């Protein structure tokens, strides 16, 4: 099981949203919304310990986590709820890719044509790219990037080279009119050169 963190909330702080907070009893029918930015240092130490325990293994029960952290199960349940609202985007599993038939992990880097720089064209291209990516379930992450003369990247899983080749053919057909160059790095998921498989637990071990 893998826990997915809200990346943007680790930059300088995180935002706590208090929605529909009750006002004084005389105005109990009126709700309000307010927010405040809180520095990461204002997180309770227990919150961070709990977060990294969840990163290591989110399958464990609140009772098991409480024993590890030296606190009560209700406390873990309460703080876990807070973390799930504010710092955790979700939970998922890390499969054994080769047993599911996935052979290739691809990192694709794209250089966009220079004439896309105008705001009108950029907005159009961005919208087309977002719509195409939304329909591509092989793609697990994508966005803009800087370096090595490229502008964007995407990361995807494929069951064979033929599957990858068809994916790239579709990519060029759909979006090729604003692509200047495409380069890919392919990883053999079942090969002996895969030394350290994907897992966020390593972050917890080096915090």
**Tokens 């590890």 found at:** 68
Q: Options 3.40.50.720, 2.60.120.470, 3.30.413.10, 3.30.70.920; which CATH number does 97-188 get?
A: 3.30.70.920
Sign of dihedral through CA atoms 150, 156, 157, 160? negative
Report d(CA 122, CA 144) in Å as an integer.
12
- The pLDDT of residue 2 is 63
Query: What pLDDT score does 105 carry?
Result: 96
Mean pLDDT over 41-47 rounds to 75
Options 1.10.12.10, 1.10.3810.10, 1.10.10.10, 2.120.10.30; CATH for 2-92 is 1.10.10.10
- Pairwise CA distance, residues 165 & 142, whole Å: 18
Residues 145-166 have pLDDT tens digits of 999 899 999 999 999 999 999 9
Domains 2-92 and 97-188 share a fold: no
Write out the two tokens for 152. Answer: 């964007």
Pull the structure tokens for residue 154. Answer: 């995407």
What pLDDT is recorded for position 200?
84
Per-residue confidence (pLDDT) for residue 34, from 0 to 100: 31
* Total residue length of the chain: 207
| Residue 206 vs residue 7, higher pLDDT | 206
pLDDT tens, 105-134?
Answer: 999 999 988 887 666 788 888 889 999 999
Q: In what order do the strands lie in the sheet with 152-158?
A: 139-144, 152-158, 104-112, 179-188
Q: Quickly count: other Cβ atoms within 10 Å of residue 102's Cβ.
A: 18
Torsion sign over Cα 103, 132, 183, 145: negative
Compute the average pLDDT of residues 76-102.
90
Residue ranges of domains in the chain: 2-92, 97-188
Q: How many Cβ atoms from other residues are within 10 Å of residue 163's Cβ?
A: 17
Residue 59 CA from chain centroid, whole number: 19
Residue 5: per-residue pLDDT: 60
Q: What is the pLDDT, as a whole number, of residue 24? A: 38
DSSP string, 133-145: HHT-TTEEEEEE-
Q: What pTM was estimated for this model as a whole? A: 0.71
User: How much is the pLDDT for 7?
Assistant: 52
User: What integer best gives the mean pLDDT of the chain?
Assistant: 81
**pLDDT tops 70 at residue 74:** yes
163 vs 205 pLDDT, higher one: 163
CB neighbours (10 Å) of residue 179? 18
Q: Which residue has the higher pLDDT, 55 or 29?
A: 55
Q: What pLDDT sits at residue 17?
A: 32
């Amino acid at each position: 099981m893998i826990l997915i963190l809200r990346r943007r909330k680790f930059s300088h702080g995180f935002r706590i949203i208090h929605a529909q907070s009750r006002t004084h009893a005389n105005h109990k029918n009126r709700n309000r919304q307010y927010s405040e930015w809180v520095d990461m240092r204002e997180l309770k130490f227990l919150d961070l310990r709990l977060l990294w325990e969840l990163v290591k293994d989110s399958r464990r029960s609140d009772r098991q986590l409480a024993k590890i952290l030296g606190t009560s199960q209700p406390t873990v349940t309460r703080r876990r709820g807070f973390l799930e609202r504010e710092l955790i985007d979700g939970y998922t599993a890390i499969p054994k890719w080769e047993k599911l038939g996935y052979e290739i992990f691809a990192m694709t880097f794209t250089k966009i044509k220079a004439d896309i720089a105008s705001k009108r064209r950029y907005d159009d291209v961005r919208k087309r790219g977002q719509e195409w990516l939304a329909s591509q379930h092989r793609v697990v992450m994508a966005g803009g990037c800087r370096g090595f003369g490229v502008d964007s990247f995407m990361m995807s899983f494929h069951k064979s080279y033929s599957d990858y080749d068809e994916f790239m053919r579709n990519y060029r057909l759909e979006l090729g009119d604003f692509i200047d160059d495409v380069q890919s790095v392919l990883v053999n998921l079942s090969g002996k050169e895969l030394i350290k498989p994907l897992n966020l637990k390593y972050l917890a071990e080096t915090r």
